[in-house]
Chains A and B, each alone.
Chain A
Amino acid sequence: MIKKIKEKLGNSSDIVERKINNISYIYLESVASDDKISDFLNKSIINITAFEDLLDTLKNHIYNSHILTIDNLDDAYYYLASGYVLLFIDNSKSFIVIEAKSKLDRGITESSSEPLIRGPKDSFTENNAVNIGLIRKRIKDYNLWIDEEKIGRRTKTKVSVAYIRDIAKSENVTAIKKILKKIDIDGILDSGYVRDYLEANQRSSFPKTISTERPDLACINLLNGKIVLLVENSPTVLILPACLDDFLKSSEDYYLKPVNSTFSRILRYMAFFITILTPALYIAFMTFNQEMIPDQLLISLATQRSQVPFPTFVEVLIFIVIFEILREADIRSPSVSGASMSIVGALVLGDASVAAGIVSPIVIIVVAITSICELVFSDMDMTNAIRQWRMIFIFSTIFTGIIGIVAAGLILIIKLASLETLNTPYLTPFSPININLVKDSLILRPANKRKKRPSYLTDNVKKVGDV
């Protein structure tokens, strides 16, 4: 049997096998822990003296809680790759698998992409069990159910669906599981793969699932009736259904005073519109609707512009593209080269380009405002969507001015309003308007006033009182 397995694995170099009496075992040293195996497997096997009914004896004598008896050889490979030890007894068809995983993850660290000032600092890791643990630790309700699916023909990645049974809508859970079951793919390396399948029915640049590294944000959403998808080897969990409003929230909002959080949420909404509209408005004002600028500003702009040989929109496009490249380079580059990047960005692009007469100072201000407002959003998919729509706005403005902005704005609203995830409109709670939900969107009411769960996520709306 061992020979068969070794052959199937191509005699890979990390296979370790050993035979003690008539018991033999095999494991992969790359994923299993040698220490664990020597500690509890070898010791217990050596102590065994009764050889009748060996399988049961073994099961009863090995100091390990993860013991399974299987007789399907196909399953064996999965367990082997997951860090289990396969235990064979001569002349027996079935065999035992025993967990002996070695720790192959980096442990719980602070979130780097979604930092908070106030609030728990831990973040999800690549280890599925740890991730589930981080949620369980926070929600100790027996109604927190976690279903698991192995996806990927070759990677056999665990995808866990976590939800609170009596809050989350069961049809949403079944819908998600149905989609997961249908996934037929070679491998899943990150939750991004799964998200593509979940959003497949409606293409849009706007993300329809929240991606987060923060267990507290996942738990806030679980308690509201959303469903959390944890993908093995991915520190980013997916939360759905998501609407636009969710991307303008931060879990920190709930930890700070509600009045202040309301203020920052309003700022975020403003930033959303500013970052999409500013370059387009600038182009419209400079090339079509000059009458909308006050006299003195117009004259000052005109003198600034008079040194620049390019049309306004070329100037704006040049600078936006340069900024995007700078940002992309900043994300990809190792942190050691960050300093030189910022010197190039600030001095060369900002100062020298004006002195050289390539762009006017006001364009730098416009692009700076745009990009600062863009940085408000931590979700990469969201910023990419904003980037895309900003370009659509700019191009429609180049041809028709303010009318172009209005037209593109209409298209944006129509597009957003027609999106939905799991029967939830993307613009909830603004369209359709739901006054009760607005209390936790643009305006945040104090925790003692938020007595109801969002009705679009759950039928079990009451938070307090009868359960």
Chain B
Amino acid sequence: MKKKLIISLFLFFLTGCWNYQELNDCAIVTGMAIDFNAGKYEVSLLISNGSKKDEEGSSAQIAVSSAEGINVYEAIKNISLSSPKELYISHLSVIVISEEVAKEGMNPILDFLLRDPQSHQNFYLVLAKNTKAKDCLSVLAPLSDYPSQNITANIKITEKLQGRITNAGFNNFVSKIMQKGNNPVANSLILVGNAKDGVSEEEQEKSISSAYTKLDTLGLFKNDKLIAWATIDESIGINMLLNDVEMLYFTIPCENSNMVITTNKYDLKNKVSKEKIDVSIEAEGMINEVGCTINLEDPKTISEYEKKAQEQMLDYTYKALDKAKRLGVDVFGYGNMIYRKYPKYFNSISNWNNSFKNLEVNVKIKFNLQNKGALEQTIGELMK
């Protein structure tokens, strides 16, 4: 018995600390940016645990290291040539992809990210519009400790507060590429100011940043290739039809001025048949700002503006549908809905994106103005 016990104890030692990795030896990568540079991939990694000493012990300092390679893996290995720590990408929270790379096709990158056992695929994917992806990743943000956190938090919060930002998770993106009759969309980032101004430490101490990143409109993909950018209206329309809206604000004209309406309840139902899709949207909203003098206590006025809001929302959706049909990319996943309901019919179609151009999509919107905010009447009306 004792012999067995001792032998089984030594079995533990045979494992040789399987998978053992000290945190000290890890370079924690929280952001990745992929650019094209002279036909090669230029991969930049945001490493968040470079440490520095100050009076209160130590605090995190970020470092962006980049290298080139003919594929993503080689580029990352080239980075590790200059790194004293092992690159650890399990905590990747955002990946920024430049326009050129996205236009060339995302498949090699997606394959790497899905295949790597360390990658946990729970990060955000954004496109860098009109700028280098590396610059978006290296601009220091005044409100967050490191840029990747800034971008993810920005997307997470804004997605709820504004209709134009889509659910940008990597998993969501990949599953849309892999689905039949579906195409993904992705958020984009633009850089305001000069990237060189944004990378220094002093920048963070200023109250007005001279360089920062900002979320912009959606990019439309055909399979894995970026083919066009949507406008703001089209982005809102796409998100509305994707049922990816929590709060949506829009401006409608009223008399000589305008008023702002926000939806706070949004419900979308698709009725799928072979030739057409019936979309019915039910939304509730509130008034946020009124610039004109109207009587808000009159139910007639309310229903008049409800109608105007419906028209505005309808306009967004038709703009989005027009764009998608013109380009022949079904970013709404209608093909997938038809495939799920009529698989045989769908398989008989050779090129879904072409037949999508002829798909009839009817949108019906029912909008309810539930709430006028804290002020029941307009100021102009009260002054009378």
Contact = CB atoms under 8 A, between A and B. Distances in A.
Q: Do A and B come from one complex?
A: yes
B153 to A, nearest CB: 11
A307 to B, nearest CB: 6
Interface stretch (B12-20, B330-338, B343-351, B372-380): B12-20
A290 B60 contact: no
Interface in B218-240: none
Contacts of A291: 90-91, 118, 120
Interface stretch (A70-78, A329-337, A395-403, A442-450): A395-403
A299 B28 contact: yes
A307 B58 CA distance: 8
Contacts of A286: 22-23
B209 interface: no
Contacts of B91: 290-291, 295, 298
Interface string A232-264: 000000000000000000000000000000000
Given A290-B26, A291-B91, A295-B93, A303 B12 contact: no
Contacts of B60: 299-300, 302-303
Nearest to A354: B57
Contact of A295 (B23, B24, B30): B30
B59 interface: yes
A134 to B, nearest CB: 44
A306 B90 contact: no
A399 B21 contact: no
A400 B20 CA distance: 8
Nearest to B27: A302
Nearest to B53: A307
B13 A399 contact: yes
Interface string B188-209: 0000000000000000000000
A290 B89 CA distance: 11
B2 to A, nearest CB: 13
A304 B24 contact: no
A290 B88 contact: yes
B58 A301 contact: no
Contacts of B118: 291
Interface in B38-65: 48-49, 51, 57-60
Contacts of A287: 20-23
A304 B58 contact: yes
Nearest to B88: A290
B149 interface: yes
Contact of B51 (A290, A295, A303): A303
A301 B149 contact: no
Given A291-B91, A395-B12, A302 B24 contact: yes
A300 B30 CA distance: 13
Q: Is the interface of A mostly helix, strand, loop or mixed?
A: helix
Contacts of B15: 399-400
A312 interface: yes
A306 B85 CA distance: 11
Interface in A297-317: 298-308, 311-312
Contacts of A399: 12-13, 15, 17-18
A302 B18 contact: no
Nearest to A395: B12
A296 to B, nearest CB: 7
Interface residues of B, number: 29
Give the residue among A299, A306, A400, A401 with the most B Cβ atoms within 10 A: A299
B49 A303 contact: yes
Contacts of B120: 291
B21 A288 contact: yes
A133 B93 CA distance: 70
Given A291-B90, A291-B120, A299-B28, A305 B19 contact: no
Nearest to B49: A302
Contact of A400 (B18, B30, B51): B18
Contacts of A290: 21, 23, 26, 88, 90-91
Nearest to B12: A399
Interface string B85-119: 00010110100000000000000000000000010
B179 to A, nearest CB: 27
A305 B24 contact: yes
Most buried by A among B21, B59, B118: B21
Given A296-B149, A303-B49, A401 B19 contact: yes
A303 B59 contact: yes
Nearest to A289: B19
A368 B145 CA distance: 29
B1 to A, nearest CB: 12
A399 B12 CA distance: 6
Contacts of A395: 12
B49 A312 contact: no
A287 B25 CA distance: 10
Nearest to A300: B60
B306 to A, nearest CB: 44
Interface string A144-164: 000000000000000000000
B12 A306 contact: no
Contacts of B57: 307
A312 B21 CA distance: 10
A279 to B, nearest CB: 15
A373 B120 CA distance: 34
Given A286-B23, A291-B90, A291-B91, A398 B28 contact: no
A181 to B, nearest CB: 30
Given A295-B93, A303-B51, A303-B59, A396 B26 contact: no
A260 B199 CA distance: 56
Contacts of B12: 395-396, 399-400
A395 B59 CA distance: 31
A415 to B, nearest CB: 13
Contacts of A296: 145, 149
Interface string B299-314: 0000000000000000
Given A291-B90, A298-B91, A303 B21 contact: no
A392 to B, nearest CB: 11
Nearest to B148: A295
Given A290-B90, A296-B149, A302 B21 contact: no
A304 B24 CA distance: 9
Contact of A306 (B49, B88, B149): B49
Nearest to B119: A291
B90 A305 contact: no
Interface in B229-285: none
B22 to A, nearest CB: 6
Contacts of B17: 398-399
A306 B53 CA distance: 11
A311 B51 CA distance: 18
B366 to A, nearest CB: 41
Contacts of A304: 58
B28 A302 contact: yes
A302 B86 CA distance: 13
A446 B20 CA distance: 51
A304 B59 CA distance: 8
B151 to A, nearest CB: 13
Contacts of B90: 290-291
14 contacts: A286-B23, A287-B21, A288-B19, A295-B28, A296-B145, A299-B30, A302-B26, A303-B58, A303-B60, A308-B24, A311-B22, A399-B13, A399-B17, A401-B18
Q: When A and B form their complex, which 4 residue pairs have the shortest distance between CB atoms, in order from nearest?
A: A291-B90, A302-B49, A306-B51, A399-B12
Interface of A: 286-288, 290-291, 295-296, 298-308, 311-312, 395-396, 398-401
